[in-house]
Amino acid sequence: MSVLLFDFVLCGLLLALALASMLSRQLSHAVILYIAFGLLMALAWARLAAPDLALAEAAIGAGLTGALCFSALARQGQLVNTPTLGWSQRCWPAVFIVVIFCGLLLALLQLPAEPGPLPSQALQYLADSGVSHPVTAVLLNYRSWDTLLELLVLLLALIGTLQVAPEPVLQPSWQLSRIWSQLLAPVIILLAGYLLWAGAHQPGGAFQAGALLAAGAVVLKLNQQLPWLKWGNILVRFFAVAGLMVFAMSAVLAWLLLDQATDPQWLQWPPQLAKYIILLIEVFATLAIAITLTLLVVAEQPDTDLSLARQDSSEATNGGV
């Protein structure tokens, strides 16, 4: 009974925080409420026995997305003088949230009471997948296409972000402790390494490890402690695309190693090499995800010469007009 009461309270708080975030009169308060919503959503995923999603939600939904929103407010100079939103600006997002909630509730009521055949099929071939955790087996063996395309989407999002935000941006004026960030950095690296290693047999993996690394890198970047972490660095560019490249090259190599007489499929791993291929993919995917998410959240400042050239070009254009 107490567990059921806890679940009802959790659902009520999630809905209340979602509406409060949409109806908040100040943007900074809305961001704080949104971060609290992300933390409770991570708890909800944990209650649904989905620790992989809980880890991703805590790192992405509450951590990186909250930092991204605060960074956007800081760039616009709205952290101190936050504008007040009118009722029309606040009601339409709230109506959208209610409609989405009703749609999700309707879809939930249509779910079958008994589990489908997919869980048993995933467990049936788990021994040949190279890992012992079914979620990792699905993401990096049974449905590798999905993970490959996710890495491609992240890379395209980063490239698009760098294209639409070419002008230099001011660093957020947060007085974060440089000492604390330096002390926490090794701990975050160790935890990320553990999540990466644990993904083969329990919740974890490349996405969770990469998101955790990105969260630590964002804090260090905001403290201006990672000057080399920028798109202009050739090594950063290499590791940003290495996840996708290693994934594709592993697929080609695996296709060549498979018995051609058995009609091998694309992104099908040889059972004797599946463990090592998946480990190789996850290591480079972790680095690519960490770099991509960090650069998506904390925009880099262009080089001084490039910024001056753009300024001179803009002044010449305005003068010509």
DSSP 108-128: HHTS-SS--SHHHHHHHTGGG
Would the pTM of this model clear 0.95, i.e. be above it? no
Residue 176 token pair: 């974060």
Cβ 277 vs Cβ 204: under 8 Å: no
* pLDDT at res. 291: 92
* pLDDT at res. 246: 93
Distance CA 228, CA 112 (A): 51
* pLDDT at res. 93: 72
* pLDDT at res. 75: 67
* pLDDT at res. 178: 64
Q: How many CB atoms lie within 10 A of CB 297?
A: 24
Q: CA-based angle 270:271:273, to the nearest 5?
A: 70
Cβ 93 vs Cβ 99: under 8 Å: no
Residue pointed to by tokens 């048993």: 120
CB within 8 Å of 197: residues ≥ 6 apart: 204
* pLDDT at res. 97: 73
| Ranges of the chain with pLDDT below 50 | 166-174, 176, 301-314, 316-318, 320-321
Task: Say how many Å lie between the first and final Cα of the chain, rounded.
Answer: 73
Distance CA 300, CA 169 (A): 8
